[in-house]
């Protein structure tokens, strides 16, 4: 049986096109830019975190008292808390030794000055807004997990008591999870979000705090508390920020 010559040439050209397409696909995949969409997504997520202004949170450690939590999150101490330490009085200066009276100078002829334009008062300075109230807690979780360890639940119980006080029922809070620099930035970001959500779920489920008063955020490793030691335990923390009513 004799086949027309153009049928073989068409088959050969189709095979060459398929091989060339497969070669381009493999070349694009193994090049660094072949994974640009995934790398760009992680970079945008990290950049979005840096746009958030970090809050100077009071570091309360792993076992703060309810009075310390209340002072850090609400800016005031409760009725059963000790009053703040009084300010130290400045020393009273001693009177200066008497000096001889100066000899008056002979009078000079008066000089009439030209009237000057009235001075323009400087513009009033705009007062800076007060810094937000925030506290940083060393909440312990299981390794690479969002499960809260039993020794940290007592701290969250005190946090819940402060949030449920009668003068704080209208206040909203942001819970921010942080990790150290171990692992990849993407995995640390996801872990910090799960841990912030775990703290919110504990406060709402165990202490019936309204979930509408709590929002969560994951910062991953982007805001290290101890940048000189990226793997230090101080970096694995949870911040709670007072957002106001």
What pLDDT is recorded for position 150?
93
Q: How far apart are CA 180 and CA 189, in angstroms?
A: 10
pLDDT attached to residue 179: 95
pLDDT of the residue at 100: 67
Q: Whole-structure pTM over 0.85, yes or no?
A: no
Q: Which of 151, 154, 135, 137 is nearest to 234 (CA)?
A: 137
Q: What is the mean pLDDT of each run of 10 residues along the chain (245 residues)?
A: 46 53 49 48 45 64 88 85 62 66 69 66 70 89 92 95 93 96 95 97 96 97 94 93 94
Joined together, the tokens standing for residue 85 give: 């330490």
What pLDDT does residue 62 have?
78
Helices 185-207 + 150-163 axis angle, to 10: 60
Domain positions in the chain are 56-75+132-244
What's the pLDDT at 79? 76
**Topology given in CATH for the domain delimited by 56-75+132-244:** 60s Ribosomal Protein L30; Chain: A; (3.30.1330)
């Amino acid at each position: 049986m004799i086949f027309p010559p153009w049928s073989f040439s068409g088959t050969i050209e189709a095979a060459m096109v398929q091989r060339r397409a497969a070669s381009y696909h493999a070349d694009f995949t193994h090049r660094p830019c072949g994974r640009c969409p995934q790398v760009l997504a992680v970079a945008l997520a990290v950049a979005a975190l840096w746009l958030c202004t970090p809050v100077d949170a009071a570091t309360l450690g792993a076992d703060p008292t309810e009075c310390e939590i209340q002072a850090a999150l609400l800016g005031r101490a409760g009725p059963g808390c000790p009053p703040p330490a009084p300010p130290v009085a400045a020393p009273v200066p001693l009177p200066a030794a008497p000096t001889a009276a100066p000899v008056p100078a002979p009078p000079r002829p008066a000089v009439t000055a030209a009237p000057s334009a009235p001075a323009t008062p400087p513009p009033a300075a705009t007062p800076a807004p007060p810094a937000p109230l925030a506290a940083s807690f060393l909440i312990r979780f299981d390794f690479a997990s969002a499960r809260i360890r039993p020794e940290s639940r007592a701290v969250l119980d005190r946090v819940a008591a402060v949030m449920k006080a009668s003068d704080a029922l209208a206040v909203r809070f942001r819970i921010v999870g942080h990790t150290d620099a171990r692992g990849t930035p993407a995995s640390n970001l996801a872990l910090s979000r799960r841990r912030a959500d775990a703290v919110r779920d504990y406060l709402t489920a165990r202490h019936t705090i309204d979930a509408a008063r709590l929002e969560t955020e994951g910062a991953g490793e982007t805001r290290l508390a101890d940048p000189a030691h990226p793997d230090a335990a101080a970096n694995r923390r949870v911040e709670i920020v007072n957002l106001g009513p």
